[in-house]
């Protein structure tokens, strides 16, 4: 199946610094990528939808100036956590979809990156 690569897998940073997380689709083009946040023992919460060549669409309650998303090409989306604080510590995971088929046609699996565990100290 298609592969989505996410880097880094783990990062520890100091409070006040910024951290960039990359999400790449390795063997397909993804016009849309999604960024999720997952706290321990909780579900994945959608943060934003990243659209190639245009501004990201953020979910309600997500600060767009805090979580900067750039989708500069059909294979790369980045999430930058700006001025990170300990409460930003979490597991961040991206996903990408290869195509948008008509309803009921085929498998529309979304492929996930390996996730990034961010710890802000």
C-beta closer to other proteins: residue 75 or 95: 95
Q: Would you count residue 27 as binding other proteins (CB under 8 A)?
A: no
Q: Would you count residue 28 as binding other proteins (CB under 8 A)?
A: no
C-beta closer to other proteins: residue 14 or 61: 61
Q: Would you count residue 104 as binding other proteins (CB under 8 A)?
A: yes
Q: Are strands 44-51 and 10-13 parallel, antiparallel or unpaired?
A: unpaired
SS3 (DSSP) at 50: strand
CA–chain centroid gap for 74, Å, is 14
Q: How far is CA 72 from CA 3, 6, 54, 104, 118, in A?
A: 19, 16, 9, 30, 23
Q: Are 108 and 101 in contact (CB under 8 A)?
A: yes
Q: Would you count residue 50 as binding other proteins (CB under 8 A)?
A: no
Q: Would you count residue 71 as binding other proteins (CB under 8 A)?
A: no
Among 16-24, 28-36, 62-70, 72-80, which window interacts with other proteins (CB under 8 A)? Answer: 28-36
Q: Are 80 and 66 in contact (CB under 8 A)?
A: no
Q: Would you count residue 119 as binding other proteins (CB under 8 A)?
A: no
C-beta closer to other proteins: residue 81 or 113: 113
């Amino acid at each position: 199946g298609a592969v989505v690569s996410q880097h880094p897998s783990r990062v520890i940073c100091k409070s006040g610094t910024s951290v960039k997380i990359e999400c790449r689709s390795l063997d397909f083009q993804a016009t849309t990528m999604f960024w999720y946040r997952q706290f321990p023992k909780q579900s994945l919460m959608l943060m934003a939808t990243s659209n190639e060549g245009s501004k990201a669409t953020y979910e309600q309650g997500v600060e767009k100036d805090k979580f900067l998303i750039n989708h500069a090409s059909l294979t790369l989306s980045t999430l930058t956590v700006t001025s990170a604080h300990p409460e930003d510590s979490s597991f961040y995971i991206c996903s990408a979809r290869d195509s948008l088929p008509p309803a009921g046609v085929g498998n529309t699996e979304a492929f996930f990156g390996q996730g990034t565990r961010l710890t802000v100290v």
